[in-house]
């Protein structure tokens, strides 16, 4: 076992808008652990490409941007080259481009070690698509968080309207289905549950209920700490 493998990780993977980020933060808060929002790294790559006016069809260029990202996380704020981009990376246009650049193997490879560096004592909760399958395959607890597409689109619509952003439910649902299909069907690190993941369907669960399910599962795990 390597030194970092003695640091526990809970992975929470799942489709877009399944509530992974919210659940990951609340679980981490309850345990006093760190978090990794891995989707933010793909969103930051996409935003940096847009800001540099890059042709995102050129994989080697996108890979160069991913490898050289100057970023800082200061929850809930995210900085790119010293500038607060917390709102900018959440735009639908950036999310859609993030899902495209995330299909590029060179981009995923460029971001791999950066993600593993988040594994710091006393523990990490990482959310994304391949946390349990690729980034932290030895994680002692893996969750795959599902929710109906309709429920996810309604949640996203509500989130946006709370922020005063007008949103159309039908187009959100179509976007979300397109993104799910792209994330599931790509060749590299597709969105699939790890073989040893616990599948949790949150369609009919509240946030608190979902957090408690994850914490209950964690309390049942025996993890050898150093
Ligand atoms: O979780 P999110 O919506 O912020 O992620 C944005 C995009 O990044 C998503 O469409 C797919 C990609 N992603 C990924 O491929 N692997 C991850 N571990 C996290 C996100």
Kindly report, residue by residue over 104-136, the tens digit of the pLDDT.
Answer: 999 999 999 999 999 999 999 999 999 999 999
* Ligand 1 in reach of 115 Cβ (< 6 A): no
Name the residue at shortest CA distance from atom 20 of ligand 1.
39
Ligand 1 neighbour 186 (Cβ under 6 A) = no
pTM strictly above 0.85:
yes
11 pocket-lining for ligand 1 (C-beta < 6 Å) = no
84 lies in a domain? yes
Buried b (16+ CB within 10 A) or exposed e, 101-122: bbbbebbbebbeebbeebbeee
> Is 19 within 8 Å of 145 (Cβ atoms)?
yes
> Is the CB of residue 133 below 6 angstroms from any atom belonging to ligand 1?
no
- Residue 226's pLDDT is what? 52
99 found inside a domain: yes
Structural domain contains residue 220: no
Evaluate whether residue 128 is within a structural domain: yes
Q: Is residue 221 part of a domain?
A: no
Residue at 223 is within a domain? no
> Above 70 in pLDDT, residue 71?
yes
Burial level of 57, CB count in 10 A (0-12/13-18/19+)?
exposed
What is the atom index within ligand 1 of the atom nearest the CA of 20?
1
98 lines ligand 1 (CB under 6 A): yes
What is the rounded average pLDDT of the residues 185-193?
88
The answer as to whether 206 is a domain residue is: yes
Provide the CATH number for the domain around residue 168.
Answer: 3.40.50.300
pLDDT tens sequence across 38-53: 999 999 999 999 999 9
110 found inside a domain:
yes
Question: Which protein residue's CA is at the shortest distance from atom 5 of ligand 1?
Answer: 39
The Cβ of residue 100 has, within 10 Å, a number of other Cβ atoms equal to 18
Which residue in the block uniquely carries the two structure tokens 């710091």?
120
**How many domains does one find in the chain?**
1
Contact between 46 and 98 (Cβ < 8 Å): yes
100 CA to centre of ligand 1 in angstroms: 10
Residue 25 CA to ligand 1 center (angstroms) comes to 16
Q: Which domain holds residue 162?
A: 4-214
Please give the angle made by the CA atoms of 102, 104 and 108, to the nearest 5 degrees.
Answer: 65
């Amino acid at each position: 076992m390597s030194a970092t493998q003695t640091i526990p990780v809970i992975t929470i993977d799942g489709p877009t808008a399944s509530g992974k980020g919210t659940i990951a933060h609340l679980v981490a808060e309850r345990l006093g652990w760190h978090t990794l929002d891995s989707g933010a790294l793909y969103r930051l790559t996409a935003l940096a490409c847009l800001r540099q006016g890059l042709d995102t069809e050129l994989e080697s260029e996108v890979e160069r941007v991913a490898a050289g990202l100057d970023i800082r996380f200061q929850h809930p704020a995210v900085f790119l080259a010293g500038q607060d981009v917390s709102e900018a990376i959440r735009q639908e246009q950036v999310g859609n481009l993030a899902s495209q650049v995330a299909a590029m193997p060179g981009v995923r490879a460029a971001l791999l070690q950066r993600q593993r560096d988040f594994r710091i004592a006393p523990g990490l909760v990482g959310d994304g698509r391949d946390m349990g399958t690729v980034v932290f395959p030895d994680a002692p607890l893996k969750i795959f968080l599902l929710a109906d597409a309709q429920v996810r689109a309604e949640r996203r619509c509500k989130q946006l309207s709370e922020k005063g952003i007008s949103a159309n439910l039908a187009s959100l649902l179509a976007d979300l289905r397109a993104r799910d299909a792209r994330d599931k069907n790509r060749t590299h690190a597709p969105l699939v549950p790890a073989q040893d993941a616990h599948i949790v369907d949150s369609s009919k669960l509240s946030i608190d209920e979902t957090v408690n399910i994850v914490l209950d599962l964690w309390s049942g795990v025996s993890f050898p700490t150093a």
